[in-house]
Each structure stands twice: as structure tokens, then as C-alpha cells.
Chain A
Amino acid sequence: MQIPDAEQLLVQLTEQMRPHVRPSTCLVGIYTGGVWIAERLAMSLNLDQPVGSIDVSFYRDDYGRGAPLRRDLRRSNIPFEVEGAEIVIVDDVLYTGRTLRAALNELFDYGRPARVDVAVLADRGGRELPIAARFCPAEIPLAVGQTLQLTRDAEERLSLSLIEAK
């Protein structure tokens, strides 16, 4: 399967979002890939607000079902007023929707936003919750066991790769 170039997807995502954002729009990236993308979007869309970041580990619905807490927990950081804000949650790949559900729950513990949208680089199908991305430049249907992974190199270039189950 041909995996599209992440940098080209990012350009397309930026152009999809451009007519719909204002300088006051706030971006929240989901660790780790979502934060990389949100930082790039904020720059090219000339947004005024600093980018927020969320680690959804404390809100995951599979906590306490056998897996220990992740080792590399990150501190969520929401550097703007959530109350009344227009927010776009940014993630790299949309799959079951459970990560976004967790991110929404966490976000609402900071206040009541006026509006929340979702932006992702790619949708790989396999949704288990009624969640859709408003901004999404590519649909890449994958089988269970396959993973689409976003990486960032030393020059901060993004790339997507397909990982097959062992």
C-alpha cells in the first residue's frame, strides 16, 4: 500500500483549516505526534494562542484492565483560557476514537469551550465511537494489527510509515 507523504498531508490539512480558523483559534495537540502537527499548524496558520498539549493516559478507558500506567507520562499543558474558546484538537492518526474521547473529557475539566473540532493527518478507519474529524486530508483503510506511525527526524520533518503486526 502507498503511504502518502506526511509533509504533503500537513500542507493539505493546513489549507483545509485555513478558511475555518481565526487568529484566536486554540490548538491542542495529543502527545506525541499531535503536538508536533499542532505546532506546525499554529505557525503556518498564524494563530495567536500558544499550542496546548494533552497526555490522555489519565483518561483512557482501558486503565485498570491489566496494562500498567505508561512509563513516559507527560504533563498536560493548556496555556490558554478554555472557557468560551474555539478549540481544534490535533492528533496524527484517527483510529477507534477512544483517544479523542479521552482528550475531550480532559479538555472539559479545564472549562467549557465554545466549540471543539478535530484535525488529523489521516483516518485509518476502524471507529468504535461516534467520532469524526472535521479536518482530515487522507483516508487510509488499514486492517486490525496494522499501525500507521508518525515520526519526526532531526530536521523536524514528519513522515508516516506502516507497521505490520508481529
Chain B
Amino acid sequence: MTRNPQLNRHGELQHLLTIDGLPRNILERILDTAAPFTEVAEREVKKLPLLRGKSVFNLFFENSTRTRTTFEIAAKRLSADVINLNIATSSASKGESLLDTVDNLCAMQADMFIVRHASSGAPYLIAQHLAAQKREHIHVINAGDGRHAHPTQGLLDMYTIRHYKGAFNNLSVAIVGDILHSRVARSQIHALTTLGVPDVRVVGPKTLLPADVQRMGVHVFHNMRAGIKDVDVVMMLRLQNERMQGSLLPSGQEFFKFYGLTEEKLALARPDAIVLHPGPMNRGIEIDSAVADGSQAVILPQVTFGIAVRMAVMSMLAAT
């Protein structure tokens, strides 16, 4: 059996590429490590010296303001030098290949790459390339690749759930919306099942669910009322208009009618259920404003926890 490419020979996290295949103890370790980082935001000087002198490159081949910003804040709070490359508008558009770009940045003494790419597997390719060049000291974090994975989003969602619910082993969790195009959903499902959530549900229209989704160990619902009945956690997904090709959906209004989270539908979940959303929200499409701004929504705490979780991941990688 070949080694998980994310782990070094001592079994420590070397890169974070996907949650799929990571053992439970590593996921728990990341969540445990994130907890003390939440305190840094309350200090006068919001900085720790762990990545002082390190160069972190944000390599965004696909636009994303929020994810890039939270990675940037996390790296800066760890005292790293952060270089943002918006490749969507730079050398790649002049024809430079992905690995040529990486080689050039290695020549600038990069220590860590945060990679967002429209193609599934791009961060893997970079990690493999670094290994082949004996540059194992350079770390790669996947910040979202195609439809494949968005591991730090999945981890910050787990941190949020654990913060409000305490444990995973007695929860019912529903993931609602466009599962098909969502790398977030895939990372969430792997994380929830690995952490021992007994009841993971996916809720959405047939056209927006992957054909083999049952094999991931989830219960499938096409009716939202049945799907969120008595759940402890509702994880809404963004309707990814920009990834839609053809007519998978009649219209946004139609989607909202059947799969939009309203107060009336949320009342079917447990009274203490929490509502998560990875952002950016389409109000009135997948979530009603009354819910998004309501007392059960934990959408803004997700953003705050996301910084601590990303600080934890970066610190764990850079320690090896």
C-alpha cells in the first residue's frame, strides 16, 4: 500500500489536500490545535511568531475573495510573509504551465503554497511535483480544487459543529442543496463520517446529487421537509450558478420553493438546531434572510473559526 501523500513517513501532516483518507485522530488533532488559536484574536497584538520568516504564496487560479482573505489573515497572524498571486489574471493567461509557475515560485524560496484551482487534483499535482524534486520542506494546502475538495472549509465546519454541539457521535446532520457541484459538500461528508456522525443526510433534487452519493455513507432525501426533520445541524450549500451547465434547474425561485431554507422548514429540525453556510450566500435562493440573520444561524462564527482552523493547519504543516 502506498503512503497517503498528505502524510510524511512519521505519519504527520505534510500537506492538506483532502479530508478523504485522513484518519480520525488527525482530524481531531487539527480541531484540538485550532482551539487555542481562537484566543489570539482577542489580544492587543493579534500575532504569533510561528511562521516568522516563512513565505506563504496564495496561488489562486480561480477567483475567491473570502477564502483567499481568510488564508491571508491566518498566515499574517502567524507572522508569515504572504504573497497573493491572482493567476487568473497573470502568467497562466500568458501561457505558463502550472508546474512552471510552481518552479518559479520555488526559486523565490516559497515555504508554503495555498492553491485554489478549477481543476480537481491540481494541488495533488503540485505536491507530487515537489516530492519528485526533493522539495518536501515546501507544504501545499488545497483551498478548493474543482468539484473535488475544500478541506479547510470542511474542517472549519466541523470545528463550528463541535463548538456548539460538543461531540459528533449522537448527531443528525443534513447537507442541503447543490451537492453535485460542491467540493465543500464532499469535504463535509468525509469529515462527518470520519468523525463518527451516525446520521449524515444529503438533501437536494436528483439533478444536483452525484449518482454514487450513497456510497459515501449518507442517506439521500429529495424532499427537504423529510430530510431536515429532527436534525441537529443544517448545512446549507451555495447554489453554484457559475458551475451550472445546461438546464439542471428551472429557476432560482423554483429552487427556493423546494430547497430554500425558510423559518417554516427550519422549524422541522430540532429546536436547538444550528444552521451553517459556507458563503457567499444567495439570499432568497438557498436561504431566506430571516434564517440567515436568525438566532440559529452560526454563519459568521464559521468565518471567525475558519481563521483559527487555517492557523492550526499551517502551524502543524510548518512544524514538520
B-binding residues in A (CB < 8 A): 55, 58-59, 63-64, 67-69, 71-77, 82-83, 105, 108-111
Say whether A105 contacts B43, CB under 8 Å. Answer: no
Among the stretches B34-42, B85-93, B176-184, B278-286, the one at the interface with A is B34-42
Choose, from B44-52, B62-70, B240-248, B258-266, the stretch at the interface: B44-52
A73-B35, A73-B36 known; A68+B316 contact, CB < 8 A: yes
What A residues does B50 contact at CB under 8 A? 58, 63-64
Interface centre among A63, A67, A71 (most CB of B within 10 A): A63
Structural contact, B43 and A110, CB atoms closer than 8 A: yes
A69 touching B315 by the CB < 8 A rule? yes
Chain A residue nearest in CB terms to B137: A64
Q: Answer whether A69 and B319 are a contact pair too, CB < 8 Å, given A58-B48, A58-B50, A110-B44.
A: yes
Q: How many residues of B sit at the interface, in one of the four size bands?
A: 20 to 34
CB proximity of A105 to chain B, nearest CB, Å: 7
Chain B 214-258 interface residues, beta-carbon cutoff 8 Å to A = none
Instruction: Kindly list chain B residues whose C-beta atoms are within 8 Å of the C-beta of A71.
Output: 29, 32
User: Looking at chain A's contact residues, is the secondary structure mostly helix, strand, loop, or mixed?
Assistant: loop
Most chain A CB atoms below 10 A, which of B29, B32, B35, B319: B319
When distances are taken between beta carbons in the complex, the residues of chain A under 8 Å from B33 are 69, 73
Closest residue of A by beta carbon distance from B53? A64
The answer to the question of B320 belonging to the interface, with a C-beta cut-off of 8 Å to chain A, is yes
B12 contacts the other chain (CB 8 A): yes
B318 lies within 8 A of chain A by Cβ: yes
With A67-B319, A68-B319 given, is the CB distance from A109 to B47 under 8 Å?
yes
Q: Chain A nearest CB: distance from B119 CB in Å?
A: 31
Taking the closest CB of chain B, its distance from the CB of A3, in whole angstroms, is 32
Residues in B whose Cβ lies below 8 Å from that of A108 = 45
Given A75-B38, A75-B39, A108-B45, 4 more A-B residue pairs with CB atoms under 8 Å apart are A55-B36, A75-B35, A82-B44, A110-B44
CB within 8 A of A64: which of B32, B45, B319? B319
Chain B residues, Cβ within 8 Å of A55: 36
The residues of A that contact B45 with a CB separation of less than 8 Å are 108-110
Bound form: Cα–Cα A143–B318 in Å = 32
Total A-B residue contacts, Cβ distance less than 8 Å? 49
CA A36 to CA B319, docked complex, whole Å: 29
- List the A side residues contacting B48 at CB < 8 Å: 58-59
Closest-CB distance, A67 to chain B (whole angstroms): 7
Is B319 touching A58 in the complex (CB atoms < 8 A)? Answer: no
11 residue pairs bridging A and B, Cβ less than 8 Å apart: A55-B36, A64-B50, A64-B318, A64-B319, A68-B12, A73-B32, A74-B36, A75-B39, A105-B49, A108-B45, A109-B43
Q: Are B320 and A76 in contact (CB under 8 A)?
A: no
| Chain A contacts for B32, CB-based, 8 A | 71-73
Digitize B152-180: 1 where CB-to-A-CB distance is under 8 Å, 0 elsewhere.
Answer: 00000000000000000000000000000
Kindly state the separation between the CA atoms of A14 and B51 in the bound complex, as whole angstroms: 39
Distance in angstroms between the alpha carbons of A8 and B33 in the assembled complex? 37
Complex Cα distance A63/B315, Å? Answer: 9
Provide the bound-state CA to CA distance between A39 and B38, in Å. Answer: 24
Taken together as a complex, chains A and B put the C-alpha atoms of A76 and B48 apart, in Å, by 12
Q: Which residues of A contact B49 (CB under 8 A)?
A: 58-59, 105
Contact at B319–A76, with CB atoms within 8 Å? Answer: no
Given A58-B50, A64-B319, A68-B316, decide whether A76 and B36 contact each other with a Cβ distance below 8 A.
Answer: yes
| Residue numbers in A under 8 Å from B35 (CB-CB) | 73, 75
**A105 contact set on B, CB distance < 8 A:** 49
Q: How far is the CA of A71 from the CA of B48 in the complex (A)?
A: 18
Task: Give Cα A92–Cα B2 distance, bound, in whole angstroms.
Answer: 46
**A72, B33: Cα distance in complex, Å:** 8
Cα distance A68–B13 when bound, in Å?
A: 10
**A59: which B residues are within 8 A, CB to CB?**
48-49
- B-chain residues with CB within 8 Å of residue A77 when the two chains form the complex: 39
